[in-house]
Amino acid sequence: MTYHSLKQLAGQLATGKASSVELCQDYLARIQARNPDLNAFITVDAERTLAEARAADALRAAGNAGPLTGVPIAHKDIFCAEGWLTTCGSKMLYNFVSPYDAHVIEQFKKAGMPTLGKTNMDEFAMGSSNETSYYGPVKNPWDMARVPGGSSGGSAACVAAGLAPAATGTDTGGSIRQPAALCGITGLKPTYGVVSRYGMIAFASSLDQGGPMARSAEDCALLLNVMAGFDGRDSTSLEREQEDYARDLAKPLNGLRIGLPKEFFGEGLTGDTAKAVQEAIAQFKKLGATTVEVSLPNSGLSVAAYYVIAPAEASSNLSRFDGVRYGYRTPDYTDLTDMYEKTRAEGFGSEVKRRILIGTYVLSHGYYDAYYIQAQKLRRLIAQDFAEAYRQCDVILGPTAPTTAFKLGEKADDPVQMYLSDIYTIAVNLAGLPGMSLPCGFDGQGLPIGLQLIGDYFSEARMLNVAHQYQLATDWHQRTPGGF
């Protein structure tokens, strides 16, 4: 059952071939055996998980089960979950046990899905490799000497390694799609506002968005059905009619127009990745789609704009971590100011400090107009580029990342090179569009390659249909890492 789909697991529960308790016990045993090496989980609480599983089995016995009742899931440790340690991968929150549930956690509880644990992540979601975590780096199950991608690296690695059938993630500049690509799974970032940010510890509020990570597009559709929905506690949550994101999965792709941005196929893209993407394009043509070249002329500036806007918002959001109300407090201080300074100096890691400093600088008097306002103007131009492209196509396709998984430590001392690993994903967040990554092949070293689909606003069902039809015709998403 390790690599069964969510539909298969739900079917076994419905027919009585397995109970939720048995499923959770199997996954907990795998976590206990493999997580010490993989480091994908920060917190596991078997007693709490099995209690939730027993409650799910009781719901099913009473005839009150939903589509996924009893199927377990892991959650990125950025989502507050009542009674669970919620650290955001930081020393600053090393002892914070959340007193409430994030909206996303509430939704999964209502669906009757037990929590397997909280997954490791880059500190406060700041990173592209899952190496900035206070709890140490996550390993990529395809090659334990390589990174899983970030910041949702723990979620991606645990799904790829079969330690959980699915997981939640968050995406601020590619943090669902990039680790999904590097670990050979499927990950979806919805349109901004479709999934509530309430109880999701903030990095950059205008960019952050939660989404599902699983083995297939079909699984992601089922998960998004649970996650999505209006929440009045989040001022950016969109009040829309509830959708069934799995409704179009079976539709053929005849007449689909795929846009290929010329900017995504130039310098920096490795040969193996380019070849795999071209083979995927050929497969889509066999399925009835046509292609058209489009242009996103400002996409090359997306990294520069992002690393002004995101740190600016982070410097504001992280000002609340001061050692007064919760989390880490320095043990040795002389007065209040000294306590603030030492707590933040000791509690935050180097990447978080770097971004706070950048953000505070660009928001300071004399630099706000020169940097922050200019970045926001560029953000609007990037969104306009996408709007123009969608006049010619239905969905945009390209690589998720320019390379496959790089070695642990390889880019740790070069922040710019690390930031450029998100070159194809960041523009999607700046525009607030939905995007997803799905496996499309392997490089010469046997490492997975991700294919990115970018849709127009609220086109998640269409994107999932496109991905699902591709996955019916290929088996890249069914491949599993050796040894797991």
CB 356 within 8 A of CB 380: no
Helix (H, G, I), strand (E, B), or coil: what is residue 328?
A: coil
Question: Checking phi first, is residue 174 left (phi over 0); if not, alpha (psi -120 to 50) or beta?
Answer: left
User: Which residues lie below 8 Å from residue 362, measured CB to CB, with a gap of 6+?
Assistant: 308, 311, 312, 368, 371, 372, 375
Buried/exposed 449-480: b ≥16 CB within 10 Å, e otherwise: bbbbbbbbbbbbbbbbbbbbbbbeebebbebe
- Whether 76 is a known active-site residue: answer yes
- Out of 19, 128, 151, 216, the active site residue is 151
Structure tokens belonging to residue 37: 């090496």
- Whether 175 is a known active-site residue: answer yes
Structure tokens belonging to residue 118: 């909280």
Q: How far apart are CA 116 and CA 23, in angstroms?
A: 10
Output the DSSP codes for 356-380.
HHHHHHHHSTTTIIIIIIHHHHHHH
Question: Residue written as tokens 């007449």?
Answer: 255
Q: How far apart are CA 257 and CA 355, in angstroms?
A: 39
Omega before residue 151 within 30° of 0, cis: yes
Cα within 13 Å of Cα(172), Cβ side? 28
- Out of 5, 19, 76, 299, the active site residue is 76
Q: How far apart are CA 418 and CA 420, in angstroms?
A: 5
Q: How far apart are CA 299 and CA 446, in angstroms?
A: 30
- Whether 151 is a known active-site residue: answer yes
Output the DSSP codes for 404-441.
SPPBTTSSTT-HHHHHGGGTTTHHHHHHT--EEEEEEE
| Residues 42, 82, 155, 438, Cα dihedral to 10° | 180
- Out of 90, 133, 152, 175, the active site residue is 175
Q: 189 - beta bridge partners?
A: 435
CB 75 within 8 A of CB 168: yes
User: Which residues lie below 8 Å from residue 192, measured CB to CB, with a gap of 6+?
Assistant: 206, 207, 209, 236, 429, 432, 433
Q: Which residues are catalytic?
A: 76, 151, 175
